[in-house]
Structure 1
Amino acid sequence: MSEEMVLKIQERSDFGTRSSKRMRKAGQVPAVLSHKSDNPIHISISDHDFQMILNKGGRIINLEGAGNAFIKDVQWDHLGDKILHVDFTKVAKDEKLTMDVAIVLKGIPAGVREEGGTLDQFVQTLKVECLPTSIPESIEVDVTGVKLNAPLHLGDVPAIPGVTFLQEKELVLATVTEHRAEEIVEDEVSGSAEPEVIAKEKKEDSEDKK
Structure 2
Amino acid sequence: MRKDITVAADVRTSRGKNEARRTRSGGMIPAVVYGAYKEPISIAVDPREIRKIVRSSTGFNTIFNLQINGGESTPVMVVDEQIDPLKGTVLHADFKRIDLSKRLRVSVPVHTTGEAKGVKVQGGLLEIVSRSIEIECLPDDIPESYVVDVGELMIGQSKRAADVSLAGSAKLVSAPDTVIAHVVALRAEAEPTPAEGAAAPEAAPTAAEPEVIKKGKKDEEPAAEDKGKKK
User: Would you call these one fold, judging by a TM-score over 0.5?
Assistant: yes
How many residues are aligned here?
191
Whole-angstrom CA distance in 1 between matches of 2:159 and 2:21 = 47
Normalised to the residue count of structure 1, the TM-score between the two structures is 0.80
**Percent pairwise identity:** 27
- Which of 65, 88, 93 is the aligned partner of 1:86? 93
8 Å contact kept, 2:36–2:99: no
Aligned to 1:75: 82
**Alignment root-mean-square deviation, CA:** 2.3
Aligned 8 A contact 2:130 2:181 in 1: yes
Which structure has the bigger radius of gyration? 2
2:137 is matched with which residue: 121, 124, 130? 130
Q: Map of 1:91-110 to 2, 5 A cutoff?
A: 91-110=98-117
Counterparts of 1:106-185 in structure 2 under 5 Å?
106-183=113-190, 185=192
Q: Unaligned stretches of 5+ in structure 1?
A: 192-210
Say if 1:71 and 1:89, in contact at 8 Å, map to a contact too.
yes
Please report how far the alpha carbon of residue 36 of structure 1 lies from its aligned counterpart in structure 2 after TM superposition: 5.0
Q: Offset at 1:15?
A: 2.3
**Residue 142 and residue 25 in structure 1: after superposition, are their counterparts in 2 closer, same or farther (change >3 A)?**
farther
SS of 1:15's partner is coil
How many Å apart are 1:8 and its aligned residue?
0.4
The answer to which structure has the higher helix fraction is 2
Distance change >3 Å, CA 189–CA 21, structure 1 → 2: farther
Q: Does the CA-based 8 Å contact 1:29-1:83 persist in structure 2?
A: yes
Structure 1 pair 5–46 and aligned structure 2 pair: CA distance change class (3 A): same
Per the alignment, residue 197 of structure 1 pairs with none
In structure 2, runs of 5+ residues without a counterpart are: 202-231
